[in-house]
Structure 1
Amino acid sequence: MSSTDCNLYAELLANIRQISLAATLPSPCDASTQVVVSADCKSVVLKHRNSTHTLTLPAKTSLGPTVLPIQEKQSGSKSLEWRLPLDVASLPVSNQADCMPWSATDLGTGSGVACRRCGSDIVRPGSVTVWKDLPSENWAEMMEFWHCHKPDHHHHDHDAKNGKAAEENLATRGYGASSAISAQKGVGFVDLTTLLFDEADCETVTVSFFNFRTSAVTLLKWQISCNSSSGAAPDIPECLAATLISTISRSGSSKSLVMPINDVVHGTDGQSSSENAVHIWVINSSIVYASSAHPQCTPAIKLLYRPLSLQEADKMLEAVTCDSQEINLPAQALNDVMRHLEHSNALLPLKERKFREWNVGLLTRWEHR
């Protein structure tokens, strides 16, 4: 946003049934400054000197068509703020479970997979006939938790040899942290950020993430295209947002350290990738916002973020008192995330862009179209 432009920013605060509205002006407000709620209660119009700006609100307000008052303490200020009452009846029902981009039920049966950049087929149409969602990352450990006695453990086995054989038998049936899901021909496995295929179903892949443990070719969702019921393709911010929401659900921790994957050194555009990690603290996992610099109403998660050196991040993760979960991304993808966060930071009102040593950002959240 240029310093010579007016900017409107609105954020839906569903929990307290309000809409936060802020106006940032290039010059102090005066007699010409006016903010009006439209007749349909779905937008506001800002007039300041010789400029006019209209913003569609992220939800309908119950206030009715009116001129919003400018308080005396805001007179002559470049920043104006209001809280508008929410029309609860018009609020759409939000399903937090729908934040996963491209679940198995979204993808078309027999759909091919192509490189989003060049359009080349990676998985030919018809090669994959079944899509399956992978369980959460800690599914093997949870199997240990769910069963106070594992299957076939009807009594304590004090024979070390027999006990070891029993453990090996259980591991082959999916119990134990060493267990893994192997790729299957004709089956596409769907994770939060990736699709996994048997190598035999893939072609024209010269460089890929190949997991020898699962015998699978791993394709990043934001780098490919595929037929889906939503008709849209997820980008890196949406995939990371889904991962953060899943991490909170799984661990209860709202803090994460996003680390670059070490074997990805350079981005595809030839530019060197970031050598920093990013510390993220989610403060609201489900908001909707709109800005005159980005007028479309956008679902997002609101968070605090700060770049850290890899040394700082490693030291933090090794600490006994660490309350942050580790998330890994290719280094170039982490660069893209940082650009997204910095852009979103500029959409916010000036005084809301920082909190102590943290920056405030918005990460776009996937929502079924």
Structure 2
Amino acid sequence: MSASNVALLYAELLANIRQISLAASLPTPCDASTQAALSADGKTIQLKHGSSSLHLTLPARASLGATLLPIQDQQKGRKSLSWRLPLDATSLSTSHPVDSTPWSATDLDASSDVACRQCRAVVVPPGAVKSWKDLPSENWAEMMEFWHCHKPDHKHGEGPGEEPGKAEDKTLAARGYGASSAISAQEGVGFVDLTTLLFAESDCQNVTLGFFNFRAAAVTLLKWQAACASASGAVPDIPQCLAATLVSTISRSGAAKSLITPIPETIRAGQEHGVAQDAIHIWVLNSSIVYSSSGSPRIKPAIKLLYRPINLDEADTMLEAVTCDAQEIDLPAQAIGEVVRHLEESNALLPPAERLFKDWRVGLLTRWDFQA
């Protein structure tokens, strides 16, 4: 049965205005048999249309339980219906958590091994990592410059024979200041950022996935390819890692638009697996929503966004333009293919009238959730 012949319910929590947006898509026009009712506890919607019945758990509790939702005169004879439900006063304090980061250092178990999620081969043996540490944001060096108008041990004068600024730059570089500074791998320590895990080469074995830095003798593993014991018991996937990166990018730069481009070294591998070598242009509409859909089994926190696949030449042209308002985010080519599939699937969960905006498609990028 095609999607156009199946009724669809979609609900989205609008916490800022204390309402729940509810939309119904019907396979045939609304008629006298069409009814939508809120359960007595305010948690569930039942939609009846013709001989079919559909239930949906709302993303938060609505007030006015045991209510038959009105169908306006202008909605009669249409296939699309919509309502705004008032939010129960106690719902916000107990609503779904949406502000977590995938596998932070406090979530990971220091006694655990780290293995390949697909083949289960152990990459970091048990006990090799004594502690986990969160890496600072990628612009930490720039922020150090911003925080200190005079950096530590700043000297206005220069020593004899020194070029202006050279002696100071050497001292500051040694102390970790400046954009040329980098985080180095340490034995016994697992470093964590939004999408990767970083280890010293000496702590690793069976390394056939991830990236190897010969200069720093460090191994970087992608979170969505690794398995490790954690307090949450959950494992992050590619969309959740990208969602965390987008939230961080918005927080850091204020830019709602991003260009997701393939890491050059991964393009050939992507071609071998039949992955289209495209970029994704993304425009974030709301970085923290909670939704439920009759096409999905669970209530999910997500980022609501507009997206459009573009070729690499167009992406390069946009990034080189002086007026570019998008931040570049690099992912492996195969990961970009997975993101596109995720967004296409999420687009189908929305009512048909809400799936397109001009030449953009609307998507829901799932955020990390301990209840996954």
TM bucket, shorter chain: over 0.9
The SS at the match of 1:23 is strand
Structure 2 residue 315 is the aligned partner of structure 1 residue 313: yes
Cα separation, 1, equivalents of 2:97 and 2:213: 30
- TM alignment of 1:285-296, pairs within 5 A: 285-296=287-298
The CA distance in 1 between the partners of 2:327 and 2:96, in whole Å, is 24
- Aligned-partner residue type, residue 102 of structure 2: P
| Deviation for aligned residue 1:168 | 1.4
**CA displacement at 1:208 relative to structure 2:** 3.2
The aligned residue for residue 206 of structure 2 is 204
Quick check: 1:274–1:334 contact (8 Å CA) kept in 2?
no
Partner of 2:252: 250
Matched, 1:144 2:148: no
Q: Does 1:260 align with 2:240?
A: no
Distance 2:203 2:112 in 1: 12
Aligned residue runs from structure 1 range 41-60, under 5 A:
41-60=42-61
Separation (CA, whole Å) in 1 of partners of 2:172 and 2:287: 38
- The amino acid across from 1:77 in the alignment is R
User: What displacement does 1:292 show?
Assistant: 0.6
What's the counterpart of residue 33 of structure 1? Answer: 34
Instruction: Report the Cα offset of residue 59 of structure 1.
Output: 0.2
In 2, the alpha carbon distance for the partners of 1:84 and 1:68 equals: 9
Write the distance in 2 (CA, Å) between the matches of 1:208 and 1:58. 37
Identity %, equivalent residues: 66
Residue 46 of structure 2 aligns with an amino acid whose one-letter code is V
Q: Please, which moves more after superposition, 147-156 or 305-314? A: 147-156
2:226, 2:209 → 1: CA distance? 14
**Alignment correspondent of 2:284:** 282
Compute the displacement of 1:165 (Å). Answer: 3.0
Residues 102 and 194 in structure 2, CA contact (< 8 A), matched pair in contact too: yes
**2:270–2:277: 8 Å Cα contact kept in structure 1?**
no
Please give the secondary structure, in 2, of the residue aligned with 1:242.
Answer: helix
- One-letter amino acid of the structure 2 residue matched with residue 63 of structure 1: L
**Contact kept in structure 1, 2:38 and 2:44, CA below 8 Å:** yes
Q: Is the 8 A contact 1:180 1:214 kept in 2?
A: no
TM-score of the superposed pair, with normalisation by structure 2: 0.95
Query: Take 2:336 and 2:286, find their aligned partners in 1: how far apart are those partners?
Result: 21
- Alpha-carbon spacing, 1:213–1:301, altered in 2? closer, same or farther (3 Å): farther
Of 133-142 and 198-207, the range deviating more from structure 2? 198-207
* Alignment gaps of 5+ in structure 2: none
Does residue 322 of the first structure (1) align with residue 348 of the second (2)? no
Say whether the 8 Å CA contact 2:209–2:221 is kept in structure 1.
no
Aligned residues between the structures? 369
CA distance in 1, matches of 2:355, 2:270: 31
Task: Specify the alignment match of 1:344 in structure 2.
Answer: 346
Q: Write out per-residue CA displacement over residues 227-252 of structure 1, whole angstroms, 9 at most, x where no aligned residue.
A: 11110000000000000000000001
Amino acid at match of 1:106: D
Residue 19 of structure 1 corresponds to which residue in structure 2?
20
| Aligned partners of 2:98 and 2:367 also within 8 Å | no
Greater displacement, 216-225 / 94-103:
94-103
Corresponding residue number in structure 2 for 1:112: 113
**Is the partner of 1:122 in helix, strand or coil?**
strand
Other-structure match for 1:353? 355
Q: 8 Å contact 1:55–1:295 — kept in the other structure?
A: no
Determine the C-alpha separation between the residues in 1 that align with 2:96 and 2:140: 23
Instruction: Name the CA distance, whole Å, in 2 between partners of 1:143 and 1:94.
Output: 36
Q: Secondary structure at the match of 1:347?
A: coil
Whole-angstrom distance in 2 between the partners of 1:30 and 1:263: 57
Displacement of 1:2 after TM fit?
Answer: 2.1
Q: Give runs of aligned pairs for residues 172-211 of structure 1, distance below 5 A.
A: 172-211=174-213
Summarize the Cα distance change of 1:246–1:213 in structure 2 as closer, same or farther, 3 Å threshold.
Answer: farther
User: Residue by residue, what CA displacement relative to the aligned partner does 1:293-339 show, whole Å, maximum 9, x if unpaired?
Assistant: 10310000100111111111111111111111000000000000000
Q: CA RMSD in A?
A: 1.8
Distance 1:17 1:5, change over 3 A: same
Does residue 217 of structure 1 match 2:230? Answer: no
Contact 1:122 1:202 survives alignment (8 Å):
yes
**What secondary structure is seen at the aligned counterpart in 2 of 1:19?**
strand
Q: Which moved more, 1:207-216 or 1:16-25?
A: 207-216
Superposition TM-score, scaled by structure 1 size: 0.96
Whether the 8 Å CA contact 1:36–1:65 is kept in 2: the answer is yes
Structure-1 separation of matches of 2:215 and 2:253? 25
- Shift of the 243–94 alpha-carbon distance from structure 1 to 2, 3 Å rule, reads farther
Q: Please name the residue that 2:102 is paired with.
A: 101
Q: Say whether 1:90 aligns with 2:107.
A: no
User: What is the CA distance between 1:206 and its match in structure 2?
Assistant: 2.8
What are the ranges of 5 or more consecutive residues in structure 1 without an aligned counterpart? none
Q: Quick check: 293-302 or 152-161, which moved more?
A: 152-161
Deviation at 1:164, TM superposition (A): 1.6
Out of 209-218 and 357-366, give the one that drifted further.
209-218
